[in-house]
Amino acid sequence: MRLLVVEDDGPTLETVAAVCRRDGHDMIAAAASSSAALEAARGGFDAALVSGPLELVASLRGKGPSRSAPIILVISGASSPRIAAALDSGVSDFILRPLDPEELARRLAVAARAASDRGGATALLGEVAHELGNALTTVLGNIELALSEGPDAVVGASRLNLEEARRATERACDLVAQLALSGEGPHDSHTLRETTPLRHGTERILVVEDDHLLREVLVAMLETLGYQPIACDPAHAPLHAHAPGTAAAVTSAEQGVRKLAPNLKLVIVSGQRPGSLPPKTAWLEKPVTIHALSRALEELLGPSLAPHSPI
C-alpha cells in the first residue's frame, strides 16, 4: 500500500517508517502543510496518515486521483467537538499520539483492505466509463457532423431534434467524466457551448483506434475539418506502414504508436488524464467532441491559417 504520511514530528515519522518497512507499505513523507501534502499526493496514494490542521484533510479530499482514499488523523487527545469536525472534513479513522507500533499496524491493515476494495470498484467504474465514453463519442460526434452540414441540410423540426439530442448527450458526457474519476480536478464540461473558431487544416493525421465506431467518427470529424485522416486498427494493420508523412496521430494506443514513431506528435484519447504529458503530446478527453479535437490539434500544430466559425 502506498501510504502518504503528512507529519513534522521526527520520532513519529521514525515509528511510521519502521512499521511500513516491516509490513511492506511504501511510505511517502510530506511536511504538514497543504502545499507540501498536495505536491506529495500528485502521484496518488492508497491511504494517508495526517497530522495537522483539518484543512490538510479537506485539501486531500478536494481533488486528485486519491480523493476518496482512507485518511487516518493523528491526534494528541480525543475530544468530541474535534472528532465531529474531523469526521465532517473527511477523516476515516483516528490514532492517538504517541503512536503505538502495533496499534498503527492494525489501523494501516484496515486502511489497506479498504483501499483494495476501493481500487476494485474504481477499476470497474473506469471500465464502464471507458465503454460509455466510446459510445457517447460516436453519438455526439455524428450529431455534430450532421449539424455542421449547415442550415440548408438540416432544417425545421429535424434540426431542433438534433439540438435537443446534442444537449442530452452532452449532459451524459459530463456524468461519464465524473464516473471516470479522472484525477487532477474538474473536467471540461461538455454542456458549455463552444464559441472559439475551429482549426481547419490539410495535414495527414493518423487515427489509431481499436474501437471501429470511435475510429470512424474521429475520421469523419477530421475530414470535416479538412484534414487527411488515415485510419488504422492497431490489431490488424502495421503502424509503421502509415506513420511516414503524417503530422500527428490521434490514438488511445499511446505506447504502441510512440514505440514505432517516437517523434510523431500525439493526441492521446482517454477518459483519464495522464499524470504528466511528454513533449509533442496533447490529451483529448472522452467523450470526444469536434471542438475538443480541434483544440488538441491546434495545441500541437499551431493555429489555423483560415479558422472557420464554430458548429
The pLDDT profile of the chain, 311 residues, written as one tens digit per residue, is: 999 999 999 999 999 999 999 999 999 999 888 777 878 777 788 899 999 888 888 888 765 667 778 899 998 876 767 778 888 888 888 899 999 999 999 999 998 888 776 665 555 566 676 677 778 888 888 888 888 776 667 667 787 888 888 888 877 877 776 665 544 444 445 444 455 678 888 999 999 888 888 889 999 999 999 999 998 887 665 555 555 667 888 887 777 777 777 788 999 888 766 667 788 899 888 778 888 899 999 989 988 755 554 45
**Is there a domain that residue 219 lies in?**
yes
| pTM metric for this prediction | 0.52
Are 260 and 240 a contacting pair, CB within 8 Å? yes
Its domain, for residue 126, covers 122-179
- Total structural domains within the chain: 3
CA pair distance 279, 266, nearest whole angstrom: 9
**Is there a domain that residue 270 lies in?**
yes
**Is there a domain that residue 287 lies in?**
yes
Are 47 and 107 a contacting pair, CB within 8 Å? no
Q: Which amino acid is at 112?
A: A
Q: What is the DSSP string of 189-242?
A: PTTSPP-SPBP----EEEEE-S-HHHHHHHHHHHHHTT-EEEEE-TTTS-GGGT
Domain check: are 81 and 167 in the same one? no
Residues 6+ away with beta carbon under 8 Å from 240: 260, 261
**Is there a domain that residue 185 lies in?**
no
Q: What CATH number is given to the structural domain containing 71?
A: 3.40.50.2300
Domain end point (choices 99, 134, 163): 99
Domain check: are 272 and 208 in the same one? yes
**Is there a domain that residue 194 lies in?**
no
On the 0-12 / 13-18 / 19+ scale of CB atoms within 10 A, 231 is middle
